[in-house]
Amino acid sequence: MDGHRPQLRRGVDRWEYFSADGALEKVGFSRANDGKVDAWAYQGADGQVSRIDVSTRRDGTVNRLEFYEGGKLARTEEDADADGKPEKWETWRDGALASVELDTNRDGQPDRRLTYGPSGVKTTKLR
């Protein structure tokens, strides 16, 4: 023996939620693998994940929405300050972050955009 013990995962790592008629509505999972649900995945009509709701603070309150198209992350919305409104919107293309829009003045509308490309990051003031 080399003195190393295998790490054991504790608790449940998957929760399945069903409708009254027995259809799968969503699947909950623990991103930290500690038995505490902090994300919920929803399937689209094609059977692939279409959205994942995340509680980044792990308090049960969803503050990040991830939207998937064709099995790939397409866009996100995030409420970083817990006021119930998103302040950050991300767009993804081919597995890479393409742009981020930010609501820096907290009026519910993006006022700044960062665009990512081969030549670097471009910042645009929207309003």
* Residue 58: pLDDT band with limits 50, 70, 90: very high
Which string of b and e fits 100-119 if b means at least 16 CB within 10 Å?
A: bbbbeeeeeebeebeeeeee
17 assigned to some structural domain: no
State how many domains the chain has.
1
86 lies in which domain range? 63-125
pTM for the whole structure: 0.83
111 assigned to some structural domain: yes
Condensed to tens digits (0 to 9), the pLDDT of residues 30-51 reads: 998 888 999 999 999 899 999 9
69 assigned to some structural domain: yes
For the chain, the straight-line distance linking the first and the last C-alpha, in angstroms and rounded, comes to: 64
